[in-house]
């Protein structure tokens, strides 16, 4: 999996589909309206995220892929904002066209107490005009050498028509590129020529025209085989929610992958994440079943996040190892951004944490009690040697990170290479920076930075006679005296 995910930084994927803006309005409910028996949501903040095919592009960018986007937006403010956000991801938007006759699709979700209260949609689902379809295909043909695979995200908003899919299938076959499709509707004949479809179990049953309870493995497999045969597909994945994923190929091989979710907060965008990881890995040349496994892990991660979200390679690897909270410096910034978007109060602390002892435990527990999420930065082995000398650390960085990540009150662990955590502080922008009470606020590295954006430094009292150096001295002394 490490080797497979490392290929993604050298892979470019074309995303074709319905571009949408997901607008979240976050608030609080404390009363029922006197006008009607409905809760009154007092809105406190709002954020806008990429949705639909735009979320697929977001996921691919988070994986490290190059991204090209093909779609249509309206001649309106949401459309211009979508184009700007895609460009900010580094995506090539040359094939994003404007259609003044239709609005940009916008979904507004009103959230309170971490629950969705209502959703409001602005959209037009009429099929794309023949003229616009021809224009899109012309641009994609001229740019085919710039990407290794195609992912189609069909949300039934009118872009993914039979003519467009037929053109994409011919383009993919002509240039030998995998064509991965997240389908919609009950008529899948327009997807003929695709390399792989990724419907959920309900969608697959409807498309295969089967009725009744189809949740069991045997029934799901029967449904999938019907679809595979009728569409002459090389590959098919049926996502089964809490039951995992069924993957099968035209040669008759099939595998059931168990669900990987540890906590489920919101299933929004899980299909986007699955098709993104699967499509990226197949574009990178990974065998089909080897690509399904990380995609399944990634979908299990994203349902633990609120709203449409993306997953990084580090998160996939850590979750696959059963260590979901270990991050690199490059990965932690979007995590912190997502926490802020959810209104979480972020606490950050750092140290070597070599030979974890009760003093460390007390310190970390008190730090966590100051906020909603604790991010711990630990010095890399090279950094510890520069600070502590050639004999340190006693415990390597991977083991130190794993031990800290196993603590219930530590939410995220990041290994950093520098002698100070300033780079991490700039990326995370914590609400609270903690350090031991043997420091003063003025001697804490980064206190000026935190103060600039309105954060604060808190000093935590330390247990007396508890230190890693003291433990090491005691061990060495006992060894010398034979005790």
pLDDT for the residue numbered 472: 57
* CA 416/CA 187 separation, integer angstroms: 51
Q: Give the mean model confidence (pLDDT) for residues 285-294.
A: 95
Each residue of 257-281: pLDDT tens digit?
988 755 555 556 788 999 999 999 9
Tokens of 273: 């994440």
Q: Could you tell me the end-to-end alpha-carbon distance of the chain, in angstroms, rounded to an integer?
A: 46
Please report the pLDDT score of residue 314 as a whole number. Answer: 76
Parallel, antiparallel, or unpaired for β 456-460 and 373-379? Answer: unpaired
**Closest Cα partner for 322 from 402, 386, 246?**
402
How far apart, in whole angstroms, are the C-alpha atoms of residue 118 and residue 435? Answer: 42
Determine which one of 272, 381, 411, 431 is catalytic: 272
**pLDDT higher at 400 or 172:** 172
Does residue 417 contact residue 364 with C-beta atoms inside 8 Å? no
How much of the chain, in percent, has pLDDT values that exceed 70?
90
Return the pLDDT at 471. Answer: 61
Instruction: Give the Å distances, CA to CA, from 9 to 212, 279, 334, 365, 407.
Output: 44, 14, 17, 38, 32
Q: How many CA atoms lie within 13 A of 49 on its CB side?
A: 24
Q: Rounded to an integer, what distance in angstroms lies between the CA atom of residue 116 and that of residue 339?
A: 17
pLDDT at 479 over 70: no
Helical (H) or strand (E) element with 106 = strand 105-112
Question: Element (H or E) spanning 19, and its range?
Answer: strand 19-32
pLDDT at 469: 58
> Do the beta carbons of residue 280 and residue 13 sit within 8 Å?
yes
Which domains occur in the chain, in start order?
Answer: 2-324 (3.40.1190.20), 331-481 (3.40.50.620)
Q: How far apart are CA 288 and CA 254, in angstroms?
A: 11
Q: What is the mean pLDDT of the chain?
A: 88
User: How many Å apart are CA 159 and CA 72, to the nearest integer?
Assistant: 7
CA dist 87 and 79 (Å) reads: 12
**pLDDT 10s digits, 345-391:** 999 999 999 888 888 999 999 999 999 999 999 999 999 999 888 87
Residue 338, pLDDT score? 73
Instruction: Look at residue 170 and tell me whether its pLDDT is greater than 70.
Output: yes
d(CA 167, CA 216): 36
419 is catalytic: no
- pLDDT at site 340: 81
Query: Tens of pLDDT along 243-260?
Result: 889 999 999 899 999 887
**383-420: per-residue pLDDT in tens?**
999 988 887 888 888 888 888 988 889 988 999 988 89
């Amino acid at each position: 999996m490490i080797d497979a995910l490392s290929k993604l930084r050298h892979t470019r994927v074309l995303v074709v589909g319905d571009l949408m803006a997901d607008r979240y309005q976050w608030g609080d409910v404390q009363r029922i309206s006197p006008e009607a028996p409905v809760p009154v949501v007092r809105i406190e903040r709002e954020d806008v995220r990429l949705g639909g095919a735009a979320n697929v592009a977001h996921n691919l960018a988070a994986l490290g892929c190059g991204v090209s986007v093909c779609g249509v937006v309206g001649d309106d403010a949401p459309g211009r904002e979508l184009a700007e956000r895609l460009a900010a991801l580094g995506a090539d938007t040359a094939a994003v066209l404007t259609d003044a006759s239709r609005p940009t699709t916008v979904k507004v979700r009103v959230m309170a107490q971490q629950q969705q209260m209502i959703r409001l949609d602005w959209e037009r689902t009429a099929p794309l005009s023949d003229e616009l379809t021809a224009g899109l295909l012309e641009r994609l043909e001229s740019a085919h050498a710039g990407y290794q695979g195609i992912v189609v995200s069909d949300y039934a908003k009118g872009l993914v028509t039979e003519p467009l899919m037929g053109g994409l299938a011919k383009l993919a076959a002509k240039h030998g590129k995998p064509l991965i499709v997240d389908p919609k509707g009950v008529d899948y004949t327009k997807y003929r020529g695709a390399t792989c479809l990724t419907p959920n179990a309900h969608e697959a049953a409807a498309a295969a025209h089967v009725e009744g309870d189809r949740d069991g493995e045997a029934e799901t497999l029967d449904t999938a085989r019907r679809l595979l045969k009728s569409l002459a597909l090389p590959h098919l994945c049926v996502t089964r929610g809490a039951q995992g994923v069924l993957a099968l190929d035209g040669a008759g091989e099939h595998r059931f992958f168990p669900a990987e979710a540890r906590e489920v907060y919101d299933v929004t965008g899980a299909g986007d994440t699955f098709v993104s990881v699967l499509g990226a890995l197949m574009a990178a040349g990974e065998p089909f079943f080897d690509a399904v496994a990380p995609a399944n892990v990634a979908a299990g991660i994203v349902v633990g996040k609120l709203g449409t979200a993306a997953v990084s390679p580090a998160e996939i690897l850590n979750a696959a190892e059963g260590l979901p909270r270990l991050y690199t410096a490059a990965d932690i910034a979007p995590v912190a951004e997502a926490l802020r978007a959810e209104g979480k109060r972020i606490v950050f602390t750092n140290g070597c944490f070599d030979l974890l002892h009760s003093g460390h435990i007390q310190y970390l527990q008190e730090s966590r009690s100051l906020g909603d999420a604790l991010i711990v930065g630990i010095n890399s082995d090279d950094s510890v040697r520069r600070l502590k000398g050639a004999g340190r650390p006693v415990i390597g960085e991977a083991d130190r990170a794993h031990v800290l990540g196993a603590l219930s009150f530590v939410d995220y662990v990041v290994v950093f290479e520098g002698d100070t955590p300033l780079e991490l502080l700039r990326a995370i922008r914590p609400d609270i920076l903690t350090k031991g009470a043997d420091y003063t606020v003025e001697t804490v590295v980064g206190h000026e930075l935190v103060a600039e954006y309105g954060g604060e430094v808190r000093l935590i009292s330390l247990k007396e006679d508890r230190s890693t150096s003291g433990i090491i001295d005691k061990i060495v002394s006992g060894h010398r005296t034979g005790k």
